[in-house]
Amino acid sequence: MGNVGAGVFKHLTQNRALLRERLGYELEVKRIAVRDLAKARGVSVSGELLTTRWEDLLDDPAIQIVVELMGQKDESLRLILGAIERGKIVVTGNKALLAEHGREIFEAATKYKVPVFFEAAVAGGIPIIKSIREAFIGNHIRSIHGIINGTSNYILTQMCERGIGFTEALAEAQAAGYAEADPALDVNGGDAAHKAIILASLAYGFWVPGDKIHVEGIEHITAHDICFARKLGYTIKLLGIIKADASGEIEVRVHPTLIPEKHVLASVNGVFNALAVHGDIVGDTLFYGRGAGQDPTSSSVIADLAEAAAALQSPRSNYGFMPHGLYGTCKPIAEIVSEYYLRLTVEDRPGVIAQVAGVLGGLNIGISSIFQPESSEGEPVSLILVIHKATNAQIASALEKIGALPCVKKTPRMIRVENFA
């Protein structure tokens, strides 16, 4: 009964009549495991429901559904596996745990024929799990592009709208309660990577190992990058990208990305999340909403509870993870082809562009455009290049060579570009 748990309890109570009308029966909270019996939780809950031993929930045969919102690793895993072994349906929002132990959890779920629901694990109140798994069941998922970390999106939006730097925007996000005291997992892409793994498992039927995913955060994005991107007609978002290519290999990666200002994802601002899903039948779709917070996440947990209750009445043969074996290989980042924005800091003198272009030409990398923003004379200046179609390996090699040029004064910065072609 932390933040989300208290929200679920509150809304189950407040919307009890509505749920009873819609479901045809009541959901009753039988027991709540907490660390501290005395802690204030902002909801009125009878002391009799509380226990400090989560094992009590497993031991009570009257409990049919266990909602795991502890957000722990070992304890959460033991609770979930214990519930499955006892035939109790599981609802969880634990993205880190699913990303790391999803395989084990769903193998147990299959073995014991117990459904596991996890809508709250990705994008808070947005029904993206249900949509991919059920609404798009007839589709090969060609790609998912997701803004799936609200903190990063809030920071990038502030940088973009007000021209402030990353450090200042992060401090504001913390003051506004949108970033944790330790914001590392939000801004370094780690949280988005957990969600990307879950989305990939739904779309492609296997659990991508965490170390196969390329993850970059937004720490190195500058106000200049955002300004130059805008001049090129782009905005910068932290995206989780999940894609299949024609050969059946899949890409899973998380990094800051230049996306066209006209794309619907570009208008997703502040703490909101959104996922653009492209299916071979349905074409382009987008889902938008609050990706975190007590209330939106509670909405998803309650939807899963309703599913769980229906599953108790009439079990189905297929729930949760659906391994279909059509794909299974995750492409290394080095082989992935992308477009790129490069920002170099170079000496302000003739001949520099020729040297940089020479390096790229030597590596067989075509340049799509070059521009040099105005600056005060004599100072090192920015040089912006846009590259169409190169592998990440090619670009890594180019950046190394360009960084070694005497006319290049700082480590070159690279941000990938996605044109949704």
Residues annotated as catalytic are 195
Q: Of the listed pieces 150-158, 173-181, 320-328, 351-359, which binds a copy of itself according to CB under 8 A?
A: 320-328
Instruction: Using CB under 8 A, pick the residue from 87, 163, 233, 315 that binds a copy of itself.
Output: 315
Instruction: Using CB under 8 A, pick the residue from 78, 86, 130, 224 that binds a copy of itself.
Output: 130
Q: Nearer Cβ to a copy of itself, position 313 or 364?
A: 313
- Say how many Å lie between the first and final Cα of the chain, rounded: 45
Q: Nearer Cβ to a copy of itself, position 58 or 114?
A: 114
Check residue 164 for interaction with a copy of itself (CB under 8 A).
no
How crowded is residue 61: how many other Cβ atoms within 10 Å of its Cβ?
9
Check residue 131 for interaction with a copy of itself (CB under 8 A).
yes
Check residue 205 for interaction with a copy of itself (CB under 8 A).
yes
Cα–Cα distance for residue pair 70/79, rounded to 1 Å: 10
DSSP letter at 383 equals E
How crowded is residue 63: how many other Cβ atoms within 10 Å of its Cβ?
17
Instruction: Using CB under 8 A, pick the residue from 91, 92, 116, 119 that binds a copy of itself.
Output: 119
Give, as ranges, the residues between 7 and 66 that touch a copy of itself (CB under 8 A): 11-12, 15, 17-19, 21-24
Would you state the structure tokens that stand for residue 350, as one six-digit string?
Answer: 């003739």
Cα–Cα distance for residue pair 70/93, rounded to 1 Å: 9
Check residue 296 for interaction with a copy of itself (CB under 8 A).
yes
Residue pair 222/373 in contact by the 8 Å Cβ criterion: no
Q: Nearer Cβ to a copy of itself, position 191 or 307?
A: 307
Could you give the C-alpha distances from 43 to 7, 14, 31, 40, 292, in angstroms and in order?
Answer: 8, 11, 15, 8, 19
CB of 296 to a copy of itself, least distance (A): 5
Instruction: Using CB under 8 A, pick the residue from 86, 103, 140, 409 that binds a copy of itself.
Output: 140
Q: Nearer Cβ to a copy of itself, position 110 or 355?
A: 110
Residues 6+ away with beta carbon under 8 Å from 398: 359, 360, 363, 365, 390
User: Side-chain half-sphere of 414: how many Cα atoms within 13 Å?
Assistant: 18
Q: Nearer Cβ to a copy of itself, position 137 or 337?
A: 137
Cα–Cα distance for residue pair 288/272, rounded to 1 Å: 7
Cα–Cα distance for residue pair 71/80, rounded to 1 Å: 12
Compute and round to an integer the Cα radius of gyration of the chain: 24
- 3-state SS record for 70-120: CCCCHHHHHHHHHHHHCCCEEEECCHHHHHHHHHHHHHHHHHHCCCEECHH
CB of 85 to a copy of itself, least distance (A): 23
Check residue 247 for interaction with a copy of itself (CB under 8 A).
no
Residue pair 271/172 in contact by the 8 Å Cβ criterion: no
Check residue 134 for interaction with a copy of itself (CB under 8 A).
yes
Give, as ranges, the residues between 256 and 295 that touch a copy of itself (CB under 8 A): 264, 267-268, 272, 274, 279-290, 295
Q: Nearer Cβ to a copy of itself, position 75 or 107?
A: 107
Check residue 298 for interaction with a copy of itself (CB under 8 A).
yes
CB of 106 to a copy of itself, least distance (A): 14
Q: Nearer Cβ to a copy of itself, position 325 or 350?
A: 325
Instruction: Using CB under 8 A, pick the residue from 44, 46, 247, 317 that binds a copy of itself.
Output: 317
User: Side-chain half-sphere of 390: how many Cα atoms within 13 Å?
Assistant: 26
The footprint of a copy of itself (CB under 8 A) covers 11-12, 15, 17-19, 21-24, 119, 125-127, 130-131, 134-140, 205, 264, 267-268, 272, 274, 279-290, 295-296, 298-300, 302-303, 305-307, 310, 313-318, 322, 324-326
